[in-house]
Amino acid sequence: MSELTLQIRKWYLLCEETLTNESGIAADGETLHKYVVAVALRNPYAGGYVQDLDAAIAASEGLGREFARRLRAIAQDRHIESFGKACLVGTAGEYEHGNAFLTTVFAEPLREALGGAKAWMPSTGKRGAPGTVIDIPLAHKDALYVRSHYDTITALFNDAPNADEIVIAVSLATRGRLHARLGGIPADQIQGEDGLV
């Protein structure tokens, strides 16, 4: 496996703070902060089929560390409860090229930065042109069955991905949906042992 040097063009940041729900009811507790950090990088596999994507997987570890550093700086002292990840692949590439940057190798530095998150990190992606809208999933970082934290944040990048690029994005949230009332395990009752409950 040859070493892969990532060519990064641009970093992006999106921050939201929600004070009321859609009906105008004030937050039940703290307001909801959501963040997206994203990067546009050159797709090393653009323009053709490559069987072995291990070099991208290996390179994603360093990328994950940089995401972790940036996300902690953005969240500051706020407690993060949810996370997710996504890729947007330019039209000269395959969806699989983006997924190669989203494996466990990429996610582990993020987990460490968030205090050792135990749950599966939800993921999505698609191919598209600059300005393609993507809904990045969110779920509780320590227990998958916490329904109040099933959520998304919508993002777009006006100048990415170019045809030969991939956008990698990570989402974070400080709490679940405002006034969530659909059951499931309450966040304050998480056991946090197996990533499910």
pLDDT at 194: 80
What is the DSSP track for 118-177?
-S---EEEEE--TT--EEEEEEESS-TT-GGG-EEEEE--TT---TTEEEEEEEEESSS-
The pTM for the full model equals 0.94
Average pLDDT of span 104-108: 96
Residue 190 binned pLDDT confidence (cut-offs 50, 70, 90) = confident
Which residue is associated with the tokens 């996610």?
Answer: 107
Closest to 128 (Cα-Cα) out of 101, 95, 97, 100: 95
Q: Which two tokens stand for residue 73?
A: 């700086």
The pLDDT, as a whole number, for residue 2 is 59
Please state, in angstroms and rounded to a whole number, the distance separating the CA atoms of residues 167 and 125: 10
Residues 6+ apart with CB under 8 A from 133: 154, 155, 156
Res 1 pLDDT > 70: no
Return the CATH superfamily for domain 8-189.
Answer: BB2672 (3.30.1330.110)
The mean pLDDT of the chain is 95
Kindly state the helix (H) or strand (E) to which residue 64 belongs, with its residue range: helix 54-75
The mean per-residue pLDDT over the stretch 128-150 comes to 96
Average pLDDT over residues 12-16: 97
What's the mean pLDDT in 159-173? Answer: 98
pLDDT, position 99: 98
Sequence spans of domains, the chain: 8-189
What is the percent of the chain with per-residue pLDDT over 70, rounded to a whole number? Answer: 99
Structure tokens at 186: 């309450």
Answer with the residue of higher pLDDT: 162 or 118.
162
Q: What is the mean pLDDT of residues 96-121?
A: 95
